């Protein structure tokens, strides 16, 4: 994973392929945007350690039973509350936590030729 310490790599486990095919640090995102003719306006990063730890704990039994399974941890009626909890941990609580460990980001960009 991009710039994750060995502690977080052990906690996270496998990189959730094929859902996440690439992992980028901030300079790589800027290079990618530049290559696409875009200029970054803003980036807001959120730590996702709480959400990651929850997925690791809940998914450890399933992964042990079926290590090649890429099925979502929560399915059916449990999917919506499970993913709402993850969004709350990431963006509700996460915005107040210090950076460190795995992160997600929202990036705003515009064409380099646009004014303002």
**Percent of the chain as helix, strand, coil, to the nearest 5:** 45, 15, 35
Domain count, the chain: 1
Residue 22 within a domain: yes
What residues make up the domain containing 58? 6-111
Residue 57 within a domain: yes
Residue 24 within a domain: yes
Q: Which two tokens stand for residue 10?
A: 């052990």
Please say whether the beta carbons of 42 and 50 come within 8 A: no
Residue 1 within a domain: no
Predicted pLDDT of residue 25: 79
Residues 6+ apart with CB under 8 A from 24: 2, 32
pLDDT in tens, the chain (116 residues): 456 666 766 666 665 545 555 677 788 889 999 999 999 999 988 887 787 777 777 765 555 555 555 556 666 777 788 888 888 888 888 888 777 777 788 899 999 886 55
Residue 116 within a domain: no
Please say whether the beta carbons of 19 and 83 come within 8 A: no
Residue 100 within a domain: yes
Alpha-carbon distance of 5 to 1, in angstroms, equals: 9
Q: Longest C-alpha distance within the chain, in Å?
A: 55
Residue 61 within a domain: yes
């Amino acid at each position: 994973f991009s710039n994750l310490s060995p502690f977080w790599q052990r906690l996270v486990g496998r990189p959730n392929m094929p859902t996440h095919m690439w992992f980028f640090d901030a300079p790589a995102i800027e290079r990618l945007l530049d290559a696409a003719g875009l200029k970054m306006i803003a980036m807001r990063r959120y730590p996702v350690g709480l959400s990651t730890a929850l997925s690791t704990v809940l998914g450890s039994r399933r992964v042990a039973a079926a290590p090649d399974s890429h099925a979502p941890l929560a399915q059916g009626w449990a999917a919506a509350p499970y993913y709402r909890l993850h969004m709350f941990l990431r963006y509700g609580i996460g915005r107040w936590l210090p950076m460190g460990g795995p992160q997600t980001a929202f990036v705003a960009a515009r064409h380099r030729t646009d004014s303002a």
